[in-house]
Amino acid sequence: MTKATRLRRAMAEKGLVHVMATHSPLSAILAEQAGFDGLWASGFELSALYGLPDMSLISMTQHLDMLRAVAGRTSLPIVADVDTGYGNAINVIHTVREYERSGSSAIVIEDKSFPKVTSLAVDGHHNLVRVEEFQGKIEAALATRSDPDFLVIARTEALIAGLGEDEALARAHAYEQAGADMILIHSKRKDPGEIESFSKAWNGAAPLVIVPNAYPELNAADIRVLGNIRMIIYGNYAIRAAATAMKETFLRVIADGGVQQVHRDLLPVEDVFHLQGMESVRSDERRYLR
């Protein structure tokens, strides 16, 4: 059974799957240990890791390098954030081949023009491509995948761009007609009203995906009540957690003039060894080093 098949089965059996953002193998290992159903190979998180804004500055090669490293250290399915597909439908063909070969079980492709800016940017320029052009991208992705269970998730940014629910619904229906397996509906409103309204108005067969970054109070119990959302992606929490911990730790070290206090609150080095798989290496050393 492929990881893509496992992801589809998890949605069918559980009704709702929880997918945590990752930007490194270490964050992937921690997410798997915590019990998530899948991983989100996040472009935003990788951009932040490089200290760059999420504005199509990170290349496909850089993102694929991270994805391969993550895939080698986890058994979880990976949902890859491929932004706009790195170009037109021809680029999407290449993108799907490379991402499927590198270990992803799904891609999320959005209907913005290239280069894009992160969706939660208050003053961002969120320009959308023509519906017909994006349908071509979806059809190209579907025709290219080698595993029929590999998910092609179409993400509409109509609400992000301020175009309203009617436009978002029209685009979602068009993308479903093009064959999209799921529809990701995104909002930057601070409350879940737009998402709840869209979910209630959506009468398509394709299940929905949401990313509750701007409206964190919408929990799993409320989402299940809506009835047609099958995947939650926690889109930026790994990098925010890491940045929070590092910032607080570094400030304490400066304030204390050393690590004599802060070291008590940090994960023991032995636990890091465990995350690195040191026990397995030691076992191999005993067996093979002569």
In this structure, are strands 229-234 and 106-110 parallel, antiparallel, or unpaired?
unpaired
Say how far apart CA 7 and CA 11 lie, in whole Å. Answer: 6
What is the tens place of the pLDDT at every residue in 92-103? 999 999 999 999
Cβ–Cβ under 8 Å, residues 171 and 131: yes
| Cα first-last separation, the chain | 39
Domains and CATH numbers, the chain: 3-237 (3.20.20.60), 243-288 (no CATH)
Residue 56's region, left for phi above 0, alpha for psi from -120 to 50, else beta, is left
Residue 115 has a pLDDT of: 81
54, 81, 83, 111: the active-site residue: 54
Q: Which residue has the tokens 């320009």?
A: 127
Q: How large is the C-alpha radius of gyration of the chain?
A: 20
Task: Give 238's pLDDT tier (boundaries 50, 70, 90).
Answer: very high
Determine whether 54 is an active site residue.
yes
Q: Which of 46, 27, 41, 54 is nearest to 242 (CA)?
A: 27
Relative orientation angle of helices 131-144 and 165-177, to the nearest 10 degrees: 40
What is the tens place of the pLDDT at every residue in 174-226? 999 999 999 999 999 999 999 999 999 999 999 999 999 999 999 999 999 99
Say how far apart CA 265 and CA 243 lie, in whole Å. Answer: 16
